[in-house]
Amino acid sequence: MAETTLATTPSASQEAVPQQGTWLAALTGRLVIIIPYAWLLILFLVPFLIVFKISLSQTAIAMPPYSPTFDLAGGISGLWESFREFSFDNYLWLTEDPLYFNAYVSSVVIAAISTFFALLIGFPIAYGMARAPATVRPLLLMLVILPFWTSFLIRVYAWIGILKPEGLLNQFLIWTGLIDQPLIILNTHSAIFIGIVYSYLPFMVLPLYSALEKMDYSLIEAAQDLGCPPISAFWKITFPLAMPGIVAGCLLVFIPATGEFVIPDLLGGSQTLMIGKTLWNEFFSNRDWPVSSAVAVILLLMLVVPMMFFQQAQAKAQEQGR
Amino acid sequence: MRKAIGLATATTLASIFAFSAFAQDKVVNVYNWSDYIDDSILEDFTKETGIKVVYDVFDSNEILETKLLAGGTGYDVVVPTGAFLARQIQAGVFQKLDKAKLPNISNMWDVVATQTAKYDPDNAYSVNYMWGTTGIGYNVKKIQDVLGIDKIDSWKIVFDPESMKKLNECGVYMLDAPQEIIPTALAFLGLNPDSRDPAEITKAEELLLAIRPYVRKFHSSEYINALANGDICLAVGWSGDVFQARDRAAEADQGVEIAYVIPSEGAEMWFDQLAIPADAKHVDEAHAFINYIMKPEVAAKASNYVFYANGNKASQALLDKEVLDDPAIYPDEATMAKLFITLPYDPKTQRLITRSWTKIVSGQ
């Protein structure tokens, strides 16, 4: 369905609109809205419902390893029987063992700290890019995107080579004489922060850049003319104007970092407890698809619900501002 | 998992190849462990039979099992380890082998077949590819420096906090595989390695918690490189992996010497089995492939390459001396008697083991 709308939309908007006027324009407008909704429905809502359904079932030694599975052969009554076997036991199980709660909390804390550092490093970069001469900006933008040309996995592996006790960083520091014993960074929390900040920095820089680039810098000149010191000019003008970029950047870093699995697995030590690893254990080691689905559903709710509240609050604030 | 991402792309590519191979109908899709075969075996097989091999690799039983349980993998031959195989048979993942199509089965070694029958009664669903042990790999020079001993022969080195404290500075890795480490700890305590008694599992947990602070990392493949590079001085790992590290270290010629030992208290023995999924599309070709692997010269070639023992008696005459005469690969009878196997856990014990393991590795 999504494909057909994709195919018809451009032609409709190009040809029909000037000739037939508002009626077709309205239809095109609606089609344009349908595409993202169809996208969300097929790639987000349907998979979510499947996961939710599995989270209500029980494990079994079978293919697939849970029961009940929907079997249309049983007819309506068969489906009804399957429905009655569903239960929320798996969600109760998650509350019984503090492991899950601790894993959620530790993931959120790790993601929050990483997001903070990404903002701290990303903001000056984005600011510098936005204030650079217009001719250089495309090049700078290119440089930010360039790392994506190498596989994410390989770049994380490269950090092992940099951070390990005999790695490049330690060799360099010992050579400069700053330290005489190698620093143990790899397999610690610090390595995870470094990995996450490095990997997600472009997602922070790009929205910040787009917000800062649109900013009217004569406002700062005006502030300075009126005797405002640079630091308070930053907090009074630049920072509020960059707010949409900061929010977008932080969400783009925080959300994937919370569920991150590869970086803690490769760079972190065994003692790092993150929800991605817990989910992996449930799914692969325990073969408990229902419990791991329940973990995934809770993780999703944890990320989506606060965001919805946040968006609502923002919409309200905007209305009041007007 | 980590490699899952890389594997996912590899699988996608493989399935594209599989598609294009449909045109020439004679094809077999093999899913085996990474670094686990001499590539020339695959080429020779195609030359001899005209059957094209689409070869794809995995690096953990869990990944394989998840794919098999989801179904529709498109693979015709897969290589799970014993305990996983047993559970998968129960779940209905595999089809029975047609022994009439496997005349080379007469080459197999009864000693191994009796063991594998514990997972797969009558060996109805599988034949052995390779087998090995879970023991200790170590850096000879570093162990000499730190502990003042020439060779390790007991699990005491690993399970005694005092010696682990000394090894802490030069680095110890351990497999991130509870079904290997917990039975080993049980065996060291003199208990039944295959115990399902929660009280005994708790004892193993306590033993492991005491040495936990001195283990730098729990991981199931990174120790190969870490040992070979001299980054660590000891790893509890799989025999063949340690031999790979030994060879890499020898090639690099940086003065790192790696040794592997099956400690005197015994070690866990595991078996990687060739089996055919129930939904395989090329059943005849799969049998032809398995039959080909059971040829003595092919099995010998495979073992000479990967440094694992195989379950093929007839191949032993053709093995390199350094493989057959290495007691770490083909243990002598006294050592053989001390090796133990573990059967698959029921879901409840599995949960207990996984939970206990999480506590050990993460302190939670």
Over the stretch A66-102, which tens digit does the pLDDT of each residue have? 888 776 666 677 777 777 778 888 899 889 889 899 9
Residue A211 in any domain: the answer is yes
Contact A192, A110 (CB under 8 A): yes
Residue A150 in any domain: the answer is yes
Residue among B131, B68, B110 at smallest CA distance from B275: B68
Residue among A198, A307, A305 at smallest CA distance from A262: A198
Residues of B in contact with A54 (CB under 8 A): none
Kindly give, in sequence order, each residue whose CB lies less than 8 Å from that of residue B86, ignoring residues fewer than 6 positions away. Answer: B119, B120, B343, B344
Amino acid identity for residue B11 in this structure: T
Residue among B1, B82, B56, B33 at smallest CA distance from B240: B33
Backbone dihedral angles phi then psi of residue A56, each to the nearest 5 degrees? -95, -5
Residue A37 in any domain: the answer is no
Q: How many domains does chain A have?
A: 1
Which domain CATH number covers A113? 1.10.3720.10
**Residue A116's domain spans which residues?**
88-321
Strand B258-261 relative to strand B126-139, pairing: antiparallel
Cis, peptide link before residue A244, omega less than 30° from 0: no
Domain extents in chain B: 2-131+270-330, 133-268+342-362
Residue A135 in any domain: the answer is yes
Exposure b/e, B138-177, CB count within 10 A at least 16 = b: bbeebbeebbeeeebeebebbbbeebbebbbebbbbbbbb
Does B358 sit within 8 Å of A64, measured CB to CB? no
Kindly give, in sequence order, each residue whose CB lies less than 8 Å from that of residue B110, ignoring residues fewer than 6 positions away. Answer: B313
* Chain B interface includes A281 (CB < 8 A): yes
Amino acid identity for residue B18 in this structure: A
Task: Find the residue in B nearest to A274 (Cα).
Answer: B362
Report how far residue A232's alpha carbon sits from residue A7's, in angstroms, rounded to the nearest whole number: 52
Report how far residue B195's alpha carbon sits from residue B207's, in angstroms, rounded to the nearest whole number: 15
Does A272 sit within 8 Å of B1, measured CB to CB? no
Contact A211, A178 (CB under 8 A): no
DSSP3 helix / strand / coil % (chain B, rounded to 5): 55, 15, 30
Contact B18, B27 (CB under 8 A): yes
Backbone dihedral angles phi then psi of residue B236, each to the nearest 5 degrees? -90, 115
Q: How far is CA A26 from CA A17, A39, A154, A220, B226, in A?
A: 9, 20, 48, 42, 64
Does B93 sit within 8 Å of A285, measured CB to CB? no
Residue A6 in any domain: the answer is no
Angle at B117 between CA B133 and CA B322, to 5 degrees: 35
Quote the pTM value. 0.79
Report ipTM (2 d.p.).
0.75
Q: Which fold would CATH assign to domain B2-131+270-330?
A: D-Maltodextrin-Binding Protein; domain 2 (3.40.190)
Residue among B150, B157, B128, B153 at smallest CA distance from B313: B128
Does A164 sit within 8 Å of B358, measured CB to CB? no
* Chain B interface includes A266 (CB < 8 A): yes
Task: Find the residue in B nearest to A280 (Cα).
Answer: B1
Contact A193, A117 (CB under 8 A): yes
Class of the CATH domain delimited by B133-268+342-362: alpha beta
**Per-residue pLDDT in tens (0 to 9) along chain B, 364 residues:** 334 444 444 444 455 454 544 445 799 999 999 888 999 999 999 999 999 999 999 988 888 999 999 988 999 999 999 989 999 999 999 999 999 999 999 999 999 999 999 999 999 999 999 999 999 999 999 999 999 999 999 999 999 999 999 998 889 999 988 989 999 999 999 999 999 999 999 999 999 999 999 998 888 888 998 899 898 999 999 998 899 899 999 999 989 999 999 999 999 999 999 999 999 999 999 999 999 999 999 999 999 998 899 999 999 999 999 899 999 899 998 999 999 999 988 888 988 998 899 899 887 7
Report how far residue A121's alpha carbon sits from residue B116's, in angstroms, rounded to the nearest whole number: 57
